[in-house]
Amino acid sequence: MAQISFTESTSKADIRSAEVLIIGAGVIGLSAALRLAQTGKKVTILDRGALGREASWAGGGILSPLHAWRYLPPLLRLAEEGMRRYEDFANEIQDASGIDPEWRMSGMWVLDSEEAPLPRDVLAWGAAWGRNWQWHTATQMQHLAPMLRADAALFCPEVAQIRNPRLLSGLLRYVTALGVHTQDYTEVTEIRKEGAQWAVLAGNLRYYADRIIVSAGSWTGRILAQQGISLPITPVRGQMLLLQGQKNALPQIVLEGAHYLVQRQDGQLLVGSTTEDVGFDKSFTPEAAQELLAFAHRVFPVSRAYPVTQQWSGLRPGSPNNIPFISKVPGQDGLFIASGHFRYGLTTAPITAELLTELVLDRTPSLDLSPYALPLTRKE
């Protein structure tokens, strides 16, 4: 898209103002808007597409790192804080919006197989992080989870799930009731500092704000590039299938390697997911559908009778070591970033929103934010 400068914009541009302008209406942006609005701030949130319909909507709603032992402590600590807050967060949204996001502590089976063997020290790793993980042999699995086909499995009882589209719908209704102004299909084409304020051009709208939060997922790097900042956030496509199953057929989440099954309360079965480096291509392919369906049929044989009702894809914001950026932008007073959460924006949304609120209000953050600082590389 050709960039339209402020000087080239017409005099008919609609000029608006906000104390805090948030770019990106995914779960991070909406949660930050909620917490800031609750402090009395006048908040506006913009999104280049439909509100709450990108990576936050597209995933499976698993509230945990999938293979926790593969990640570094900064991500694990952030995820742990998010997980600890989630039941109260979901209840708050349901009470305020009337929409049940279907949070439940379902637990997760992690299957051990030739295709995806688990490390032999996984129980010791879990114990070191305070996890009450349990190992079960194939014989034990026949009694505990007869619906599954597994050589052996690790059970993680602390893993919850949420129906993420319902969570996003509830959040959107909640923030709107609090007076947050939302604007969809409004792509930001320029941001710049004008005196003490930030000026933002988006379509025929011109916004002035004291503070800006960029939480635009995979598109965050493009926006910050306008400030001469090169940020290592890249889109990673994940494809999903939806099957119509029977209620209560699969009470727990099932994970094997990169693939998982998550059943909703109405019986719908999510099958995920691929991990593809294809740029900003959001198409979905028959090859991915075959791969995901073969996984579901192999580990959960009853799913062979379930019809496929939908296939879609989303773009996760990938970052080095999957550690997100939650930070002030040095040298850019009033500019903040929360992005690069990869798979775990949903899991970490409650704590990320708290940390952003503390940053914007110049309060001492409740967590050490140095691991989430920007690796600033300025373009010449």
Q: What is the pLDDT of residues 283-323, one digit of tens each?
A: 999 999 999 999 999 999 999 999 999 999 999 999 999 99
- Of the listed ranges 19-28, 213-222, 223-232, 277-286, the least confidently predicted one is 223-232
* pLDDT surpassing 90 at residue 136: yes
Q: Provide the percentage of residues in the chain whose pLDDT is more than 70.
A: 95
**Cβ distance 43 to 37 under 8 Å?**
yes
- For residue 5, pLDDT over 60 is answered with no
How does pLDDT run across 344-360, given as a tens digit for each residue? 999 999 999 999 999 99
Q: 310: which strand partners?
A: 242
CA distances from 50 to 36, 45, 90, 247, 344 (A): 22, 12, 22, 30, 20
What integer pLDDT is reported at residue 377 of this predicted model? 46
pTM of the model: 0.92
Query: Among 88-97, 100-109, 165-174, 198-207, whose mean pLDDT is lowest?
Result: 198-207
Q: Is the C-alpha dihedral spanning 57, 60, 61, 65 positive or negative?
A: negative
Confidence at 2, pLDDT banded by 50, 70, 90: very low
Residue recorded with tokens 């959107």: 172
> What is the per-residue pLDDT across 62-72, written as a single tens digit (0 to 9) for each?
999 999 999 99
**Domains of the chain, earliest start first:** 14-56+166-232+321-378 (3.50.50.60), 108-157+234-318 (3.30.9.10)
Name the band, by pLDDT with cuts 50, 70 and 90, for residue 376.
low
